[in-house]
Amino acid sequence: MTDIFQLQYALDTFYFLMCGALVMWMAAGFAMLEAGLVRSKNTTEILTKNIALFAVACTMYMVCGYAVMYGGDIFLSSITGDGATGAEEPATYAPSADFYFQVVFVATAMSIVSGAVAERMKLWAFLAFAVVMTGFIYPMEGAWTWGGAPVFGMYTLGDLGFSDFAGSGIVHLAGASAALAGVLLLGARKGKYGPNGEVNAIPGANLPMATLGTFILWLGWFGFNGGSVLATASVESANAVAVVFMNTNAAAAGGLIAALLVAKVLFGKADLTMTLNGALAGLVAITAEPSTPTALEATLFGAAGGVLVVFSILALDKFKIDDPVGAISVHGVVGLLGLLLVPLTNEGSSFSGQLIGAATIFVWVFGASLVAWGILKAIMGLRVSEEEEFAGVDIAECGMEAYPEFVSSKA
Amino acid sequence: MKLITAIVKPFKLDEVREALGDLGVAGVTVTEVKGFGRQKGHTELYRGAEYVVDFLPKGKLEIALADEMVDSAVEAITKAAQTGKIGDGKIFISTLEDVIRIRTGETGAEAV
């Protein structure tokens, strides 16, 4: 092995791992965003869900998820070793670095679900679903897309012109599809919708925390998209990484500005929570292809996501689909937009391929999730009791408040 | 002895406290409270849906005074807390049966 190759291998592996660590930090962003947008009586429980789902995702993807998605053995038993000589397809990074980068994406997909079902779903039903989602449902569609496997032996998405660079569809649309299935079986929070079609506001408890969460997600996204170049130690890949960072940032900015302006025009006021959703929508919109657009195109794609997300959130409320943090709109509706924008700048993809890919992901994840949620509903129930919902799930599920007051040391 | 309970706009608390201090009032208890009066509440907006804030934040002062201090205290509070706009608050005066200083056990006017 030449010295220069050793250097390339070390640098690519290091870059891959650091990008994975940035994506891991997105779990903190989701936790803060969701904790900020729920009421204070549901804070401890949403934090518990967020950090526990991360651990469940990491464990299930280790047990079987990675093997289902990319082949190899369960428990990662054959993953150690050298990516340059040991693997079937030679790579410039360690195989275990690939696992580490992939596993944090699984956790991201699952984090999307927790926000949509917040404030009313049982903790243990949610974690049971996380086991199925991260060990089986996500890895299956991951195998058909990034894994290159045919869909149930029928067709191969890559051959049809499907392209999803960092996962607008594979991660974000998938997470939102699972969330939608859960919300449909779960129902809306008590008091969200009135008997005469009124949509009632249930304001989030902590907007500084929601804003911090959005900043953290924005930062983590550089790892999400930037790491998806898979390499940085050559002039070509270093240039690609720089473009991806530039475009990812531009899209977030475009999405935020667009949502801020749309909210001001629609409501007469600058709605901060819509604005935060706008930044995330911009990021989701560019994730399917951050490497081919110009910086201006990336800004406009992000802005399209920022406009769409506000109208999508309002439309879902019309259908009484209660999503406290807007996750289905941000990741699902805008995830689909992101896939459909790819052929505008990437000649290697086609609209038909993107549509078939999006439909495949949605039908599989939504359908399989519906079955999984349905079984959990029959076995243990998905929803806390009405009394527990009014008291807050912090006490009902975790037995502790996030901000205890008037406590006595006596038992 | 009288107990004065005054509800004022929160940002007027400092001025009221200074005015009472200038009179030589020995002590005031302050609470952050919410309520409604003629000012009523107002409508806010969250993610496109309206919601009503029925109870507005106010400062509540409780002051125990000897009878001869009451008129000047009321005048001081009124002058300091008045903006002339709706929501300036109210002053309630009630008779105070007794006062006890916990440290010394003094009672009545001695304890105020």
**Tokens, residue A346:** 């990437």
What pLDDT was estimated at residue A405? 86
Positive/negative CA dihedral, A138, A143, A147, A150: negative
Residues A159-209 pLDDT 10s: 999 999 999 999 999 999 999 999 999 999 999 999 988 999 999 999 999
Q: Which of A203, A268, A314 sits opposite B46 (nearest CB)?
A: A203
d(CA A302, CA A252): 6
Percentage of chain A beyond pLDDT 90 is 92
- Subunit contact B46:A271, Cβ cutoff 8 A: yes
Q: Which of B44, B45, B51 sits opposite A200 (nearest CB)?
A: B51
- Subunit contact A317:B49, Cβ cutoff 8 A: yes
Amino acid at B109: A
Indicate which of B47, B50, B51 best probes the interface with A, i.e. most A CBs within 10 Å of its own CB. B47
Higher pLDDT: A81 or A354? It is A354
- Subunit contact B48:A266, Cβ cutoff 8 A: yes
Q: pLDDT at residue A90 above 80?
A: no
Instruction: Report the mean per-residue pLDDT for chain A.
Output: 96
Please compute the mean of the pLDDT values over residues A310-316 and round it to a whole number.
98
Residues in A touching B44 (Cβ below 8 Å): 201, 203
Q: Which of A200, A204, A326 sits opposite B49 (nearest CB)?
A: A200
Residues A34-70 pLDDT 10s: 999 999 999 999 999 999 999 999 999 999 999 999 9
- If interface means Cβ-Cβ distance under 8 Å, which residues of chain A face chain B? 199-204, 266-269, 271, 273-274, 313-314, 317, 326
Residues in B touching A326 (Cβ below 8 Å): 47
What pLDDT was estimated at residue B6? 98
Please compute the mean of the pLDDT values over residues A263-288 and round it to a whole number.
97
Residues B49-73 pLDDT 10s: 989 999 999 999 999 999 999 999 9
Which residues pair with residue B49 across a beta bridge? B46
pTM for the full predicted model: 0.93
What is the least distance, in Å, from the CA of B55 to any CA of chain A?
Answer: 16
CA distances from A379 to A49, A121, A124, A382 (A): 20, 14, 12, 9
Q: What ipTM was estimated for this complex?
A: 0.82
Residues A220-272 pLDDT 10s: 999 999 999 999 999 999 999 999 999 999 999 999 999 999 999 999 999 99
Q: pLDDT at residue A87 above 70?
A: no
What pLDDT was estimated at residue A81? 78
d(CA A309, CA A326): 8
Which residues pair with residue B31 across a beta bridge? B60
What pLDDT was estimated at residue B39? 83
Q: How far is CA A103 from the centre of its chain?
A: 12
Please compute the mean of the pLDDT values over residues B22-30 and round it to a whole number.
94
Pick the range with the lowest mean pLDDT from A210-219, A335-344, A395-404.
Answer: A395-404
Question: Residue A359: which residues within 8 A CB-CB, separation 6 or more?
Answer: none
- Subunit contact A317:B46, Cβ cutoff 8 A: no
- Subunit contact A271:B50, Cβ cutoff 8 A: no
Positive/negative CA dihedral, A219, A222, A227, A232: negative
- For residue A309, give the chain B residue with the closest CA: B47
- For residue B48, give the chain A residue with the closest CA: A267
Residues in A touching B45 (Cβ below 8 Å): 201, 267-269, 271
Residues in B touching A267 (Cβ below 8 Å): 45, 48
